[in-house]
Amino acid sequence: MNTPTPPVYPNPGRSSGRQKVLLVLCVLVGIIGITASAATIWYYYNFKAAPFKPVNLTVAEKDTLNSKLAALESGKLSELEPSKPTPSPAATTTPAPSDPAKTIVLSEREINGWLADQPDWADKVKFHMNNDMLGATFLLPIDPSTKYIGGKTIRIKVAFNTKLDENHKLHFSLANLSVGGIPVRHDISLPNAWLGDAKGVNLFADNGPGSFNSEFLQRFAAGIKDFKVGNGELRMVLND
């Protein structure tokens, strides 16, 4: 008489261990995949940057912008109709200059629309304004003969602090600069020592290290009575 063979049951402990290993492997593969995808996106965004889409102003917007630029160049701002910009959060907390006859307001859209008409800048420069800060993003093509990064298009971001100092003179200084997405955070700049200690130096100063000392810049700054950068707009009041 044959003795029946008892059934063999899987070892619960061994099965549980295999499941844990598979789970860890799946998590690692997921992390590697996410990291690789993020790195690829970061690389293409900063080193193979796609051209900017130009801002196309309407005919009416172009006429308004041209009249502002002509009045700014001639100094006859009284010929302009009073500007009525879109209210911004900054405007609700800081009183805006109140001399309409000498006030000119330029919006971020108008400036980017003007850049769109410049063949060399149309798809390579984007201007932005936000709470006492003027900034721009540049797409810089690198010469193909350059080692390692030749033929790439690098994204460069720069921002300047703008304000009137205690002497009521225009202060314009470098705040942030990033090259190729380094540093990653937009509110952090490359070290000041790497920038020749240029951060915080008033570019409109009469003298001092790093200042441009350009006669044009000096005259421009001297002609400003009030200057305010809000969310998406720049407002200037000119001196007599």
Strand order across the beta sheet in which 133-141 lies: 125-129, 133-141, 153-164, 170-179
- Residues 87 and 232: beta-carbon distance below 8 Å: no
How many domains in the chain?
A: 1
Query: Rounded distance, CA 227 to CA 118, Å?
Result: 26
Whether 138 maps to a domain, the answer reads yes
pTM: 0.68
Residue 145 has, within 13 A of its CA and on its CB side, a CA count of: 0
Give pLDDT tens digits along the chain (240 positions): 556 666 555 555 556 667 778 888 888 888 888 888 887 877 777 788 888 998 999 999 999 999 888 877 765 554 455 444 444 444 444 444 456 667 889 999 999 999 999 888 889 999 999 888 899 999 998 888 888 888 888 889 999 988 877 777 778 888 888 888 777 565 567 788 877 788 888 877 755 544 555 666 667 777 778 888 988 999 888 877
Range of the domain at 223: 59-238
Beta strands at 233-238 and 125-129: parallel, antiparallel or unpaired: unpaired
For 201, residues 6+ apart whose C-beta sits below 8 A from its C-beta are 173, 174, 208, 209, 210, 211
Whether 23 maps to a domain, the answer reads no
Classify 76 as helix, strand or coil.
Answer: coil
Whether 38 maps to a domain, the answer reads no
